[in-house]
A and B are shown apart, each in its own frame.
Chain A
């Protein structure tokens, strides 16, 4: 007997919320980055769960896409973080505010 759909969705929502809060309150760019991954994967979990619940394959297909995009995003994002660090010797996002009005 499988778990009901709600369990998955609640877990997914919790993971997403943890990700959002992490993005909001952490100062380290890499941690923020990880939190974004957490949000993406929370979404993935919801996709997969609903796909299985409905017995359709599209949700799982989307997850593959999301993972591909996330991989590309990680590559670029990390590159940016490395180059910011090279430039300013910090990855504390509070200090990276030269676009202040």
Chain B
């Protein structure tokens, strides 16, 4: 594979960003041109990705690693040296296909969705910039480049969540996402520092080689053994992943991030950026295996999966349900990479990117039809008016619920099967989550598309199917969302996907037990969830807000309020920090000490000046008097004391 191909792949969205960003003044009146430039830029990347993918598929040695991927020396100072370089292997090309493939369809969809928006060119500029940053993240051959991409996607996420910046809630959500991510990024940075201290390099290949060679190659930074050092490093990196991939306890920004345009939620907050943490752990598979910290990753993952799925049961905002579902599915991916089944985790990442991207886009289509209504209690019976949207949404929901043969079925089952081999409790929690997933997803479907229409009359007359530029991407996305599992995942650990990525990941232990048995259990659980949702919500909207105090105390009320996590964070973290900033930093330190020093110096000079000012009386005779006294003293001195 040639470096030039990768450079074109990488630069294309950057060029798109520059055109839309710099010439927005001229492109403003021309939505078609602006959108086409944005989509075309990603399309070129998509072509390059396909070429790269096929190249590696034909010849598994055609990877771009180590010195082959070197482009130029970026930083060189003493021992610290970082290159700009690419690392392209099977894992990278899979990520590239997801990013550019889903990304391209979402760009096309956005051409229709963003029609008539004030910031049309700005939107496409940001979207292209995001794709560029995401590509850097997966293409880089060292942790620092990954970090640059990591921060870049964080920035674009912030810009796009707060895209409608006139809305207070949107700007707040953007800031929340940015600040919560800062916590994770801090961990990532510390992890990088630790790695550098231990390996004196940030390069993937160098680090992994040294780590595998053993203890003599590594500097002990923490504890007594290199293992402790590796544990600290991997856990710190995982803190970064927890922030970026919205896991417990830093998941709170993702549901709020739904304030952004819906295609953004599909691309950034479902398909690509939030999976960066999973990618990072899969990339660092060697380190996690050596450190043995995967168990922490898996536990955080499975608890997040369960927690978010429970919250999703009681939400009534269509995008928030999908957001909590994303958090939950990301939890599954972390279970996968945590228990060492890296290929399964990445496989779920791929299928999830397709079906969740699809579901967000269909949700956007529903919003488009319903004049931006988000509350599913005000929908109902939409399947007749939005047939394509309904059909594609159903495909996505069946896929995530784990209906047999659809994509989510294969990937989720692989993860659960591997989990059985490492921890039974994780398996059981995962299975329970699968049931909840099927339930909340079909609650959403039944309430939105079935039953009686609860649409408000003035909206009802305008309900219409979306234009072709929007439904076509839906249909195209629905195909891989349904079938990609069949293509890649048949055969569990002997599937095509596992063979394709076998050079990248350390070999996982084969999980015990019959694959078919596990598939049967997963299917039954998924279908049971769907059936349960059917009995409860086939003809009924979720209950209105409870009014009396008794109802407010029960568990469902707690769930409907998302366990008050935001409120708890607000009371115990945000407010104390705000108060400390206000009273300690501002009132005490800034006003008291800094201003005190500055004003104190000025006041001191004023006092001294006030004293000496008195000497200048303006009475000439007083001056003369002092002169005379001086002369007399001098004379006296010379007369009486000298000699």
Contacts and interface: CB of A to CB of B under 8 A. Distances in A.
A94 interface: yes
B621 A98 contact: no
Interface residues of A, number: 13
A94 B628 contact: no
Nearest to A27: B621
B616 A101 contact: yes
B628 A24 contact: yes
Nearest to B615: A101
A24 B626 CA distance: 10
A22 B617 CA distance: 20
B614 A101 contact: yes
Interface string A1-45: 000000000000000000010011100000010000000000000
A64 interface: no
Contacts of A93: 619-621
A87 interface: no
Interface residues of B, number: 13
A24 B620 CA distance: 9
Contact of A100 (B612, B617, B621, B624): B617
A101 B615 CA distance: 8
A93 B623 CA distance: 12
A24 B631 CA distance: 14
A101 B621 contact: no
Interface in B584-643: 612-621, 624-625, 628
A99 interface: yes
A23 B189 CA distance: 81
A101 B613 CA distance: 5
Interface string A72-101: 000000000000000000000110111111
A87 to B, nearest CB: 16
A99 B621 contact: no
Given A20-B628, A24-B625, A100 B620 contact: no
A57 B292 CA distance: 112
Interface string A31-75: 010000000000000000000000000000000000000000000
Contact of A98 (B613, B614, B618): B618
A32 B619 CA distance: 13
A2 to B, nearest CB: 27
9 contacts: A32-B621, A96-B620, A97-B617, A97-B619, A98-B618, A99-B616, A100-B617, A101-B612, A101-B618
Interface of B: 612-621, 624-625, 628
Given A24-B621, A93-B620, A97-B619, 20 more contacts: A20-B628, A23-B621, A23-B624, A24-B624, A24-B625, A24-B628, A25-B621, A32-B621, A93-B621, A96-B618, A96-B620, A97-B617, A97-B618, A98-B618, A99-B616, A100-B616, A100-B618, A101-B612, A101-B614, A101-B617
